[in-house]
């Protein structure tokens, strides 16, 4: 049932003309409501918790994009923002109905918009890609479980090499995947929830390889990995091997995030899936299946 948004300050409820609100996400980092405003228009409110202040760079990224490829920022105040409501259809669900190829076409289209040129001044708070990878570097140097340690050291070494040779550095969404591309509004498919990074554009497709959630058989399928590499390399304008190397580096980083949250590679969650992907992708890379 829709209710007033009790977590929003009264002045913001009035400023944004909120008539009713429905909580759609309560995470470690934020509260998200779908709201109805005066005159019946819809929007999204996002309030960052203390643990989510790092997401402010993502709001900066969306403001800089001004609706090109992502949702528009309608207003913001401190750690709360009012966002365009992009709709409720996630690309994850669209893929189930229409298939992998159709979903990949949408990813490429959204990516093209996100990476389109802008004359506006770059945001000040975008996170450097090397800083983004700190959890991987830290855990790779301290992990004592032999099997996991080897994988993380491998991913960290690749990440370090890539980050030392970045090309075409630009603002990045940083978390592009099937649950962060949504549709349902007149503007079609749009990206939501960016990290707000700055770095090599090849990183912006790295998280697609480990998604969507629940598609484990596809995630570790060498044929799918190959197809994604072949799609993304010309879209980014780089060598195929670079795309795969960023996917491996990100898999290591994602494992670290999951382990910090209590996940285990021996379980059935994200850590296990990314660990399995990393092993398959490493084999493909070492077989030099992606030479220029």
Of 60, 78, 124, 175, which is the active-site residue? 175
In contact, 65 and 118? CB cutoff 8 Å = yes
Nearest CA-CA partner of 242 in 198, 290, 191: 290
Q: Residue 85 catalytic? A: no
Nearest CA-CA partner of 257 in 194, 207, 197, 182: 207
Integer angstrom CA distances of residue 155 from 12, 32, 55, 115, 250: 44, 33, 25, 26, 8
Distance CA 83, CA 47 (A): 11
CB count within 10 Å of CB 13 equals 17
- 10 Å CB burial of residue 1 (0-12, 13-18, 19+) is exposed
Catalytic residues: 175
């Amino acid at each position: 049932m829709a209710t007033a948004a009790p977590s929003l300050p009264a002045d913001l409820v009035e400023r944004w003309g909120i008539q009713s609100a429905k909580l759609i996400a309560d995470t470690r980092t934020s509260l998200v409501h779908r709201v109805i405003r005066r005159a019946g228009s819809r929007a999204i409110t996002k309030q960052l918790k203390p643990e989510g202040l790092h997401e402010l760079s993502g709001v900066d990224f969306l403001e800089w994009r001004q609706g090109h490829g992502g949702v528009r920022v309608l207003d913001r105040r401190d750690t709360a923002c009012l966002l365009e409501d992009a709709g409720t259809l996630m690309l994850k669900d669209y893929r189930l109905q229409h298939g992998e190829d159709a979903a990949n076409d949408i990813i490429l289209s959204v990516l093209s918009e996100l990476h389109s040129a802008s004359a506006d001044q770059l945001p000040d708070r975008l996170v450097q890609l090397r800083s983004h990878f700190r959890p991987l570097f830290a855990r790779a140097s301290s992990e004592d479980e032999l099997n996991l340690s080897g994988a993380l050291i491998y991913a960290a070494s690749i990440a370090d090499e890539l980050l030392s040779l970045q090309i075409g550095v630009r603002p990045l969404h940083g978390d592009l995947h099937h649950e962060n591309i949504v549709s349902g509004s007149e503007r079609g498919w749009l990206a939501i929830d960016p990290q707000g990074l700055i770095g090599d554009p090849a990183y912006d497709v790295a998280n697609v390889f480990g998604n969507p959630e629940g598609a484990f058989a596809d995630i570790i399928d060498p044929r799918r990995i190959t197809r994604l590499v072949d799609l993304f390399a010309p879209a980014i304008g780089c060598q195929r091997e670079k795309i795969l190397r960023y996917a491996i580096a990100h898999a290591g980083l994602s494992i670290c995030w999951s382990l910090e949250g209590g996940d285990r590679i021996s379980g059935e969650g994200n850590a296990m899936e990314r660990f399995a992907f990393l092993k398959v992708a490493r084999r493909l890379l070492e077989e030099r299946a992606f030479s220029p």
